[in-house]
Amino acid sequence: MGHLEHKKDIKAGKLLNVYIITLSDTRKEKEDESGSYIKERLLSACHKVSGYSIIKDDKDLLENLIVKVCFPDLKQKTDALIINGGTGVSFKDITYETLKDLYDKEIYGFGELFRSLSYNEIGPSAIMSRASAGIYNGKIIFSVPGSLNAVKLAMDKIILNEIGHLYYEISKHLS
Q: Do the domain assignments include residue 7?
A: no
Does residue 160 lie in a domain region? Answer: yes
What's the number of domains the chain is made of? 1
- What are residue 93's phi and psi, to 5 degrees? -80, 110
Distances (CA, A) of 129 to 40, 45, 84, 87, 116: 24, 26, 12, 6, 11
Q: How many CA atoms lie within 13 A of 135 on its CB side?
A: 14
Contacts of residue 9, Cβ cutoff 8 Å, sequence gap at least 6: 1, 168
In Å, how far are 24, 78, 86 from 132, measured between CA atoms? Answer: 18, 19, 11
- Which domain does 22 fall in, by range? 15-170
Give the tens place of pLDDT for each residue, 22-49: 999 888 888 999 999 999 999 999 999 9
Average pLDDT, the chain: 91
Q: Looking at residues 70-77, what average pLDDT do you find?
A: 76
What pLDDT score does 27 carry?
86
Rounded to two decimals, what is the model's pTM? 0.92
State the pLDDT confidence band at 72, using cuts at 50, 70 and 90. confident
Q: Is the pLDDT of residue 16 over 80?
A: yes
pLDDT confidence tier of residue 7, bands split at 50, 70 and 90:
low
CATH number assigned to the domain comprising residue 57: 3.40.980.10
Q: Is residue 10 part of a domain?
A: no
- List % helix, strand, coil for the chain (3-state, nearest 5): 50, 20, 30
Residues 6+ apart with CB under 8 A from 98: 59, 62, 63, 66
**2 inside domain:** no
Tens of pLDDT, residue by residue over 81-107, are 999 999 999 999 999 999 999 999 999
pLDDT digits (tens, 9 = 90+) for 142-162: 999 999 999 999 999 999 999
Residue 71 pLDDT more than 80?
A: yes
Let me know: does 53 contact 38? Beta carbons within 8 Å: no
Q: 131: part of which helix (H) or strand (E)?
A: none
Angle, CA 32 vertex, CA 165 and CA 99 arms, to 5°? 50
Report pLDDT for 25: 87
pLDDT given at position 10: 42
The answer to whether position 19 is within a domain reads yes
- Is residue 6 in some structural domain? no
